[in-house]
Amino acid sequence: MRFLRILVVLSIFASCTTEDDYVPYQVEQVFSDNLEKTIKVDIIYVQPSNKASKVSYGLNETHFIDNLNGSFFHRYGIGLEMGDIKTLNNDELYDLKDNRGQEASVFLQQTQDSYREDRISVYVMKRSNTIAIAGIGKDKRALITDEFLYTSTAPHEIGHALGLHHYHEEGNIMSQIRPYLRKDFTDEQIAVLKETLEKIEN
Ligand SMILES: [Zn+2]
């Protein structure tokens, strides 16, 4: 098992994009009642262990999930449903800039007891507590820094969390270039996402 875990950690890229993704996405919203697959999404706020230093994120979780559905997922028959809203008090993760170059492995280690195999867990933390990290995604978990919640980083990291790898074509959600153009998944990617959701259901 230990060997497997090391392999998983090594296969992650430290950074998902070559450029910053500061442009909010503007994709026409499409909602559907006819969803093939749905999955619950837990939102987990990363906080320091010292409660006096707690930060406020000011996120409207329902609005965040609705936007992801309308902009990126419903059009493919995939629905994200609001799950639980929680807090993770964890100094190691909260001060991610102390772990430069190790962010992805620190993220996976520090969250292994707080995520559920049958859901997507979105961990929200301060971009200012990282060095140039917009987000990280792997193994049902996505880390999205507060400044990137409403950019294409969010569907990109959720894509990683559900098993997608990077894709070379501009405009694809899993592309690493020109993140402000990202808006589509390919048929193959949708097949992978649905297969992952199918496995989760069973
Ligand atoms: Zn990526």
Lookup: tokens for 153: 């980083």
CATH number of the domain where residue 159 is located: 3.40.390.10
Residue 202 has what pLDDT?
78
Structural domains counted in the chain:
1
Confidence tier at 25 by pLDDT (50, 70, 90): confident
**Per-residue pLDDT reduced to its tens digit, 147-197:** 999 999 999 999 999 999 999 999 999 999 888 899 999 999 999 999 999
Spatial distance between the Cα atoms of 127 and 138, rounded to a whole number of angstroms:
18
Question: Span 94-118, mean pLDDT?
Answer: 95
Residue 101 contacts residue 184 (beta carbons within 8 Å):
no
Lookup: tokens for 116: 């559920």
Spatial distance between the Cα atoms of 84 and 119, rounded to a whole number of angstroms:
10
Quote the ligand 1 centre to 142 CA distance (angstroms).
Answer: 10
User: What domain range includes position 8?
Assistant: 2-201
What residues sit around ligand 1, an ion, with C-beta below 5 angstroms? 16
pTM of the model: 0.90
Quote the ligand 1 centre to 173 CA distance (angstroms).
Answer: 9
Quote the ligand 1 centre to 161 CA distance (angstroms).
Answer: 10
Residue 143 contacts residue 123 (beta carbons within 8 Å):
yes
Residue 16 has what pLDDT?
73
Quote the ligand 1 centre to 136 CA distance (angstroms).
Answer: 7
Residue 15 has what pLDDT?
62
**Per-residue pLDDT reduced to its tens digit, 52-68:** 899 999 999 999 999 99
**Does residue 110 surpass a pLDDT of 80?**
yes
